[in-house]
Amino acid sequence: MDKLLIKGGATLNGGIRISGAKNAALPILAATLLTEQPVHLSNLPHLHDITTMVELLGVMGVEAVINEDMSVEINAGTIKDQKAPYSLVKTMRASILVLGPLVAHYGRASVSLPGGCAIGSRPVDLHIMGLEAMGAEVQIVDGYIEARVDGRLKGAEIEFGVVTVTGTENILMAAALAEGQTIIRNAAKEPEVVDLANCLKAMGAKIEGEGTDTIVVEGVESLHGCEYSVMPDRIETGTYLVAGAVTGGKVTLKNTDASIMKSVLDKLSESGAKITTGDNWIELDMEGKRPKAVSITTAPYPDFPTDMQAQFTVLNSIADGTGVVEETVFENRFMHIQELVRMGAIAQVNGNEAVITGQEKLKAAPVMATDLRASASLVLAALVAEGETLVDRIYHIDRGYECIEEKLQNLGATIKRVAA
């Protein structure tokens, strides 16, 4: 099992290219099941989760051709089976996203209950509720969601009790081929949901209201193929901006989008960073200064993203002052703090709130990743720690960050991947 060995103390400077967004690419890959024509997708990140989704489509008989430029052409017209097996779904929760397209297009689906990061309860009951409202019969049998419908799904008014990104995406895809109008209330507003809607519209779907809490879909009889480029990854963008901030550096990130980063950029500015943006780039300059502590509260988009909470916890751990971090989206998402304390951070956790008092330096220690964003935070902590830090279980990092050691090396970090 690979580990990352990081020598702290370098000030990050330079520019890197941001990859495509995993959390947009996964539902868009699932959306290719809605048409029998080829869909050509570009700007996909080269990540394990993307490989797993393509493999899942392949298990069902879908053809996927990877081109020289690393774009992918998906042809679901060759599908032979509507079953998503446990062996693949257990490694990635986003596999649940094939449920809606399969039922909508083929009238049946058998999808294993999902696995993935251990960061609290993320039930699939909202997905099931939405499909049942559209006329599907759904049962849980031997750990599989078995769903079927005679003919087409029917448009319906669906109101989610809580905001759910994957639930919104699943019902959005199902509604695209349903008969009549579907209204999704309390819908997720995330940019990744908007990206999926834009891809579906490129395939011929009729959708309005994406990016708001009410999405209206007029179902069509069929969708067609298209070419689509996946949006840049806002969480990867935020992670490298924080890396620049904690090291007192100056970093320029290309192929990204500042317009979907407002809550994160505002907090970085509050911490003392000088932020400059352009059409597809963001520059952060700390001018060699130590960041000031900031307080954050996570909430669904457009508020501060839960996937950036761990990174800002690290920023506060070396900042001037005390910051309060409140997590309102997932329970059990402070597991990285115990590892940061081993590196000298001063933090107290009380329920869904953590109070962090900044120290001028952290100290290297062997640490272990517990989930995707927590693992990224440990890498950030290692960049500012005295000595060499060994980060274990980095398969979590590889699920969400493309070539993280190469990108950090390009910014001047001393980091390498080592075999266990």
Q: Which amino acid is at 249?
A: G
Measured in residues, the chain has a length of 420
CA distance 34 to 39: 10
Q: Quick check: helix, strand or coil at residue 81?
A: coil
Residue with tokens 């941001």: 18
Which pairing describes strands 39-42 and 227-229: parallel, antiparallel, or unpaired? parallel
Give CA–CA dist 26/97, Å, rounded.
8
Exposed/middle/buried for 65, CB within 10 Å: 0-12, 13-18, 19+? exposed
DSSP-derived secondary structure letter, 179: B
Q: In sequence order, which residues have a C-beta less than 8 Å from that of residue 336 and are 6 or more positions away?
A: 310, 313, 370, 373, 374, 375, 377, 378
Cβ neighbours of 361 (radius 10 Å): 12
Q: Is 176 exposed, middle or buried (0-12, 13-18, 19+ CB in 10 A)?
A: buried
Residue 230 phi, psi dihedral angles, 5° rounding: -70, 140
Residues marked active site are found at 117
Q: Are 118 and 368 in contact (CB under 8 A)?
A: no
- Rounded distance between C-alpha atoms, residue 388 and residue 60, angstroms: 45
> Are 284 and 347 in contact, with CB atoms under 8 Å apart?
no
Beta strand pairing call for 322-326 and 353-357: antiparallel
The CA distances from residue 209 to 187, 197, 291, 353, 356, in Å, are 10, 10, 38, 34, 39
Q: Which of 417, 389, 393, 387 is nearest to 405 (CA)?
A: 417
User: Tokens standing for 37?
Assistant: 């024509």
CA–CA separation, 45 vs 401, rounded Å?
8
Closest of 78, 35, 71 to residue 204, by C-alpha? 35
Pairing label, strands 214-218, 13-17: unpaired
